[in-house]
Amino acid sequence: MTASDGVTGPQPAELHIDGPSARAEGPSIAQATDSELEHRGLLHGLLRALSPLHVVAAVGLLVASLSVRRTLGDVDSPVHVAVGREILREHRFSDLGSAWLGVPAPSWRTSQWLSEVLMAGGVDAFGWHALVASRLVLLLVLAALLAATLMPRRPAALSVPIFLVMLVVLTGLVQDRPQTLSFVFVLGLGWCGVRLWTHAARPPVLAVAAASLLWAQIHGLWILAPFAFALVAVGASIDRRTTPVVRPALVCAGASLAGLVNPWGPESFLLPLRFRGATSGVIGEWLPTTLTHPFTVAFALLPLVAVVAWLSRPTDEIPRVEILWVLLWTAFGMLAFRNVAVAALLIAPAALNAADRAWGRAARKLTHPSGPREGAALLALALGIVVSGAVYVGASMARTDPWSTLPAVGIADHLAASDRPVRVFNGYNASGVLALRSEGKALLVIDGRADMWGAERITAVTDAPNLGPGWQTTVDSFRPDAFVLPADAPLVQLLVREKSWRVELRDGQDVLLVPNR
């Protein structure tokens, strides 16, 4: 064996051993580099897309955050919590909420059991401030989702105004109630529905089914999902350009029927009719929408933008499904105040799409790509504005009594100290506080579950304090031990004037009347 043989002989073995290791390491390093480059590319693209208008959007979110109520805003929140506690304790979805009633009531099932369980669990774990804070958290989550769905690949000159309009709509309607949690699903539904005809992008069927199933446990608005996808299918079928969308839309509509697995089953589709029949003309949020509030005016701007955009383009460029979508959801929003936020979330992506088609080319010329440093500065400024506002509002909420603006809180606490149950003829808006804080001592004539009581009962009880037709029969049939009503109610003034009842306690605008013995 020569020296050269000694040198060269072992080399193939070394290469044979080291070779696989080198080959394994090479792609790993390359993959890491590609991934890193991809993330850098995404960040670079994000920074280049930012403009001063996005900082204006952050300022708008700051103003919206500062406008969030620091106390419990929904008079029915205490009842939702009480029902959630009962579900956790009794492990059932029906025959709920009879402990605080002084009258026989039909068996009642909740259509939002998971929301009520979450509300009860949050309150029991973190106190009532958790329910108040949830309003701010949901506003920020909705704003983040709106930014993620409206702003990418859209000119800031169009997407930011639509975003600000949506903040005006949502600020007054994000409340501590199950429907607000439902807004997250509505936002996703609107985005998916519009992308079906704009990008021919069908969401994963299993994702649609799972989201609908979860949504159906949270709130009854889940029934909008099959209707919305079916609406896309109908609209797409009347336009040859969008005919291929029909089948995917129908598949999504079928998948969304997974929501039928809920305590109400197929009867879920009849619940809106029950609510509307029970509350029409009685409860303000179910009254037809009028353009007399900032949030309703903001809502009206969305279809207006779409219509103006349509008129500025040749008719044959406008998808018929888009027209049908915007007009029908606008009509839905005008049916009742409580529909406004839902309709706005569904219309916003379609209105932006119409605006981009009409004015997108000109709008893109108004802003120029930012450099990395400028984009980073804008991003830091926007995040700083939003975070500072959220921290300030959160700290303010922590210092505020969450019950301070709800009616009859002091009266409920007074009744809780009673040595026996008290039959209370109560005002409708005071029912939630009395049901929860009286600790079972107040037996009420009515509470806020409109679907259980029906229009006739609600009208009779709410008319009685105003001495409406049949008030004497309504009061006498209940045989009250006490009244909890607004101090200026004609019935209160009559009873005090006749000296048959006296004011035991004044609590804000409400009074507790007891027999004058």
Helix, coil or strand: residue 294: helix
Q: Within 13 Å of residue 400, how many CA atoms lie on the same side as its CB?
A: 21
Q: Within 13 Å of residue 435, how many CA atoms lie on the same side as its CB?
A: 30
Distances (CA, A) of 321 to 90, 144, 232, 326, 350: 47, 27, 6, 9, 10
pLDDT tier at 18 (50, 70, 90 boundaries)? Answer: very low
Nearest to residue 440, comparing CAs of 419, 466, 465? 419
Query: Which pLDDT score, from 0 to 100, does residue 27 have?
Result: 42
- Tell me if 344 sits within 8 A of 334, measured CB to CB: no
In 91-223, which residue ranges form alpha helices assigned H by DSSP? 113-126, 129-150, 156-171, 178-198, 205-218
* Weakest-pLDDT range from 39-43, 113-117, 319-323: 39-43
CA-to-CA distance for 50 and 152, rounded, in angstroms?
Answer: 10
Q: Is the pLDDT of residue 479 over 80?
A: yes
User: Average pLDDT, stretch 10-26?
Assistant: 38
H/E stretch holding 514: strand 510-515
- Tell me if 117 sits within 8 A of 319, measured CB to CB: no
Q: Is the pLDDT of residue 45 over 80?
A: no
Kindly report, residue by residue over 237-294, the tens digit of the pLDDT: 998 888 899 999 999 999 999 999 999 999 999 888 787 777 666 778 888 999 999 9
Q: pTM above the 0.85 mark?
A: yes
Which residues make Cβ contacts (< 8 Å) with residue 494, sequence separation at least 6?
467
CA-to-CA distance for 402 and 73, rounded, in angstroms?
Answer: 9
Task: Provide long-range contacts, Cβ within 8 A and 24+ apart, for 491-496.
Answer: 491/464, 491/465, 491/466, 491/467, 492/465, 494/467
- Tell me if 285 sits within 8 A of 338, measured CB to CB: yes
pLDDT tier at 63 (50, 70, 90 boundaries)? Answer: very high
- What is the chain's length? 517
Helix, coil or strand: residue 404: coil
Distances (CA, A) of 19 to 13, 30, 348: 10, 17, 58
Angle at 259 between CA 256 and CA 261, to 5 degrees: 140
Strands 442-444 and 422-426: parallel
Query: Which pLDDT score, from 0 to 100, does residue 370 have?
Result: 77
Kindly report, residue by residue over 170-192, the tens digit of the pLDDT: 998 999 999 999 999 999 999 99
Kindly report, residue by residue over 64-122, the tens digit of the pLDDT: 999 999 999 899 999 999 999 999 999 999 999 999 999 998 889 999 999 999 999 99
Kindly report, residue by residue over 137-153, the tens digit of the pLDDT: 999 999 999 999 999 99
Strands 501-507 and 510-515: antiparallel
Give 422-489 as a DSSP string.
EEEEE-GGGHHHHHHHTTT-EEES--S-HHHHHHHHHHHHHHGGGT-TTHHHHHHHH--SEEEEETT-
Query: Which pLDDT score, from 0 to 100, does residue 105 have?
Result: 86
Q: Is the pLDDT of residue 302 over 50?
A: yes
Q: What is the mean pLDDT of the chain?
A: 90
Query: Which pLDDT score, from 0 to 100, does residue 36 have?
Result: 57
Q: Is the pLDDT of residue 233 over 50?
A: yes
Query: Which pLDDT score, from 0 to 100, does residue 280 have?
Result: 63
pLDDT tier at 31 (50, 70, 90 boundaries)? Answer: very low
